[in-house]
Amino acid sequence: MISRLAFSHFVVNEDESVDMDALVYTATRLWVNALRIPQGT
């Protein structure tokens, strides 16, 4: 999922309106959820 996110943003550039901070936040939340780390830890 993370690789698709990066590919679509940096290679394909599907949605130019996506803010880099929002992209980083989303990728981080995906990793944290996958590792089952409680939010706010």
What's the rounded mean pLDDT across residues 20-39?
Answer: 89
40 domain residue, yes or no: no
41 domain residue, yes or no: no
20 domain residue, yes or no: yes
Contact 12, 3 (CB under 8 A): no
- What is residue 18's predicted lDDT score, i.e. its pLDDT? 80
19 domain residue, yes or no: yes
Enclosing domain of residue 10: 2-35
- What is residue 3's predicted lDDT score, i.e. its pLDDT? 85
Cβ partners under 8 Å of residue 26, min gap 6: 5
What's the rounded mean pLDDT across residues 21-36?
Answer: 90
- Two tokens at 28? 């981080």
Q: What is the pLDDT of residues 5-26, one digit of tens each?
A: 888 888 888 767 888 899 899 8
16 domain residue, yes or no: yes
The domain tally of the chain equals 1
Whole-prediction pTM: 0.65
